[in-house]
Chains A and B, each alone.
Chain A
Amino acid sequence: MLDPKDIQHLAEHADDLTQFDTSQKMTWCSNCGNYGIQNALKRALTLEGIGRNEFLMCFDVGCNGNGSDKFECNTIHGLHGRVISLAAGVKLANHKMHVIASGGDGATFSEGVNHLVHAVRNDYPIIFIHHNNENYGLTTGQASACTAKGAVMNASPYGVNIEPINTLDFVLSLSPTFVARGYSGEVDQMTDLLRKALNHNGFAFVEILQACPTYNKETPDEWYAARVNDVSALKEYDNTDIWAARKLVEFGDQDNVPTGLIYHNPRDHNFMDLQPGRENIKTTLVDEVKRVNINMLLER
């Protein structure tokens, strides 16, 4: 639940909140999880006082990518599977901007899974929202690497016959610094997690279990609502303990879906601080485009 203070803040800063609203025609299905996710993101940005010129959004291709012109701010809508690398390039050029990237389960765990691996390892200071609706929505409902075994999908008429990837277990195995999970039916929790992610100085992996009313009828928001358990309610759960986190997600089952800030262990330095020659440099690469005298290099 949002703090009453935050509700007050949103009421008082209604213009900040609505500046992101679009006049474009929405093209998502009714009850699509994307509405809730956008809503939460708008709130999180407003509550953190982040203005339009202080962040950039990067979109993969898929249903969430069709939101790239429905959030009034600077956006880039790139290629399928590549949004994490794209967002890293944006962020490294301008570390003063928050960079928020989003991609679906097809992009993240099939087409571009290598980028996820290396983004976690490099701890690029970006937020990545994993829109996990357990299928390829925009191409009309094929199975993804996150589709449940047995599900009958477009192009899998006899049912998917292999197990899905356990997404959080996978990410936690890579020594991440921030792993969170929410679901698209609970805007307050998503708002809270996204605010935490906006304050994280590293790669923030935020998975949203997303309702897909057209191609994943099995798990609507209500289905998740009945099964999720926020880790903040767990006694003795230490979300800075990687093994506790891995154990939690490894043995999670259909009827117990852990959500919340699952793991959080920020490092002292982010990627940019570790780059040779860039220690203590405050300017961004964007500020620095100018003539460089090469005499010193020619002497070597």
Chain B
Amino acid sequence: MNRMRIKITGESGSGLLSTGDIITKALEEIGFNIVSDREYPSLIKGGYSCYTINISTENIWSLSEQADIMLSLDKQSLEELHDKLKPGGHLIHGYERNLDKTLEKMDCEVTSVQGRTIAKEQGGSFLMVNVVLIGVLWKVLGLDYKYVEEEVKKKFASKPKLLEIDLRCLKAGYDMAETKFELEIPKAKKDQIVINGNNAIALGAIHAGCRAYYAYPMSPASSILSYMAKYAKDTGVLVKQAEDEITAAQMTIGSMYAGTRAMTATSGGGYDLMTETVSLAGIIETPMVLCIAQRPGPGTGLPTWTAQADLNLAIHSSHGEFTRLVIAVSNPTDCFDLIQHAFNYAEEFQIPVIVLTEKVIAESLISVDRFEQNKIPIKRGLSTEEHQNEDRYKITESGISPRWIPGSQEAYYFANGDEHWESGELTEEAEPCRQMYAKRNRKAIALEQALPEPEIIGNPKAKISFVGWGSSKNTMLDIIAENPEVNYLHYAYMYPLKTKVLNQFFKDNSNVHLIEGNYAGQLGQYIEAKTDNKFQGKLLKTNGRPFFLEDIQDYINQNS
């Protein structure tokens, strides 16, 4: 089926989120594949927001900017966002006052109801207009009433008196409207889950044996903290909201040194504060997993919007030189998998691992296959042999020395942030300093060899090709599903850079473009510096919005 694109617009605080959630969950129950995301300003009440839902009977991963149907909860948001409804689309609203001026600007079919009047007639208040409109939407889409009724019941289960009125409002809205669309209905509900990237990261970490989570609230990473805290009683994970990001990072490295698995997440500004600790992890060779949920900077930037602009930060942050790994996630499935790999690489190579996610990944709900558990073994890289103190930082060919949990055997060591020799004892002598410095840095060679190559999506050869990372993969997947003339090379493991498949990709394809959500084309610059490949063009986006299908389609039209 073609995707059906729904946009709900409203003020922040107008009940947009719960309206969107009810609709999303009801659509999920029917068995649709869903992608939904919320665009909203960084404030608690007021300002216009929208909740976008795309559904299909096929797998979908990304959103279209345009909508087929728009449900408007208030006038201001309609004024601001009316151009997101495609020409000839369908508008649903519940205003009782004249909207002619706004509607003049739009080319659309309209279903309107007297929202407040209906809500009042059913014994409700103006707060229940949203429920009336959900009923209207459901009828316009021609969907089975029981699904939406069930979700409304779940949503208001704790308020039985209001629930009765809500259900009457829902029914009144439903009965009042006419069906305008004929959707292909999924044959059965698949064994899928609808989940956002932050919850998937939390679940992956819990699955991998992460026992402590330390963080300071910062959008768009905060929901990892809330999720971890919400389920702490079930998981036994120690969840601590620290006094600042420096503390979160320090507690993480302290716990990892002691021998457990711990994690922290933040956004770019918070990560700036953590960078000294990352450098400490570099010299004491203590594993660490840090997650940066990207939003546009610099400064406070756009706290509730999305970006792919902190790749350079992840690669170049922290003083001195040391081996690190940078991974970028794309969607809930790889959030769940890659965070597990992050812990394994961190422990096996005794390095900081920085995991990049983005607001659009962190908060978008996507239907994905139920996560495959027990697929990725827990690899701790801990030595079980008896050791001497000086084994801990032994100069080895690979640069990796034995690591054991402090206190687990007679041998002990100094995890020394000062330059040191093999048992961690301080040294400032030239030759040992040179050797230890080189040991830490040559771990990157073994690390690079251990990493998977980037993945090619689509045919090996295509008329137009893209290279990118992060959430771009989701949009490319949807583009390529419709168009075999396009292919895409995706980097999940960003640094150190794998180049073999990349070089072949450039050999096989003559029209290769870069796609990135930043100004400089950071991955592109890195690739062009490390290899002889040159991009034919760059599709870059820096307005806080993710890559929509239209962005890539338009670019393809202009460049093929």
Interface set of A (CB-CB < 8 Å, partner B): 24, 52-54, 56, 58, 61, 66, 68-69, 72-79, 82, 85-94, 97, 114-115, 117-118, 272, 275-278, 281, 284-286, 288-298
Contacts and interface: CB of A to CB of B under 8 A. Distances in A.
A121 to B, nearest CB: 9
Contacts of B251: 85-86, 88-89, 92
Nearest to A114: B243
B412 A69 contact: no
A54 B424 CA distance: 20
Contact of A61 (B211, B253, B380, B417): B417
Interface in B250-266: 250-262
B284 interface: yes
B260 A278 contact: no
B407 A53 contact: yes
A97 B406 CA distance: 10
A92 B250 CA distance: 12
B234 interface: yes
Given A77-B417, A89-B252, A298 B193 contact: yes
9 contacts: A52-B412, A53-B408, A77-B416, A90-B255, A94-B260, A118-B242, A285-B238, A285-B260, A292-B235
B214 interface: yes
A280 B406 CA distance: 25
Contacts of B211: 93, 285, 288-289
Given A76-B284, A87-B254, A93-B255, A298 B212 contact: no
A292 B276 contact: no
Contacts of B416: 68-69, 75-77
B254 A289 contact: no
Interface string B364-408: 000000110110001010000000000000000000000001111
B412 A74 contact: yes
B238 A92 contact: yes
Contact of A68 (B253, B255, B414): B414
Contact of A291 (B207, B257, B408): B207
B459 to A, nearest CB: 34
Interface centre among B235, B239, B259 (most CB of A within 10 A): B259
Given A92-B238, A294-B207, A296-B234, 8 more contacts: A53-B409, A69-B425, A74-B407, A74-B413, A78-B253, A89-B212, A285-B255, A285-B262
A91 B262 CA distance: 13
Given A79-B280, A289-B209, A294-B203, A277 B233 contact: yes
Contacts of B380: 289
Interface string B246-287: 110011111111111110000000000000110010001000
B106 interface: no
Given A69-B420, A77-B417, A94-B407, A275 B232 contact: yes
Nearest to A96: B407
Given A56-B258, A115-B247, A277-B235, A92 B207 contact: no
Interface of B: 193, 203, 206-209, 211-212, 214, 229, 231-240, 242-244, 246-247, 250-262, 276-277, 280, 284, 370-371, 373-374, 378, 380, 405-410, 412-418, 420, 424-426
Interface centre among B229, B233, B236, B242 (most CB of A within 10 A): B236
Contacts of B277: 79, 82
Q: Which 3 A-B pairs have the closest CB atoms?
A: A89-B254, A89-B251, A85-B250
A114 B245 CA distance: 12
A86 B254 CA distance: 5
Interface centre among A289, A295, A296 (most CB of B within 10 A): A289
B412 A89 contact: no
A114 B244 contact: yes
Contacts of A114: 243-244, 247
Interface centre among B233, B258, B262, B408 (most CB of A within 10 A): B258
Given A74-B406, A78-B280, A115-B243, A291 B254 contact: no
A75 B415 contact: yes
A24 B425 contact: yes
A293 B374 CA distance: 8
Contacts of A294: 203, 206-207, 371, 373
A96 to B, nearest CB: 9
Nearest to A55: B407
Given A74-B413, A276-B232, A277-B234, A85 B209 contact: no
A79 B417 contact: yes
Contacts of B414: 68-69, 74-77
Contact of A89 (B206, B243, B262, B413): B262
A291 B378 contact: yes
Interface centre among B193, B374, B407, B409 (most CB of A within 10 A): B407
Contact of A289 (B284, B370, B378): B378
Contacts of A87: 254
B415 A277 contact: no
A69 B252 contact: no
Contacts of B239: 275-276
A194 to B, nearest CB: 20
A66 B417 CA distance: 10
Interface centre among A53, A92, A272 (most CB of B within 10 A): A92
A38 to B, nearest CB: 15
B424 A78 contact: no
Contacts of A24: 425-426
B258 A298 contact: no
A56 B209 contact: no
Nearest to B254: A89
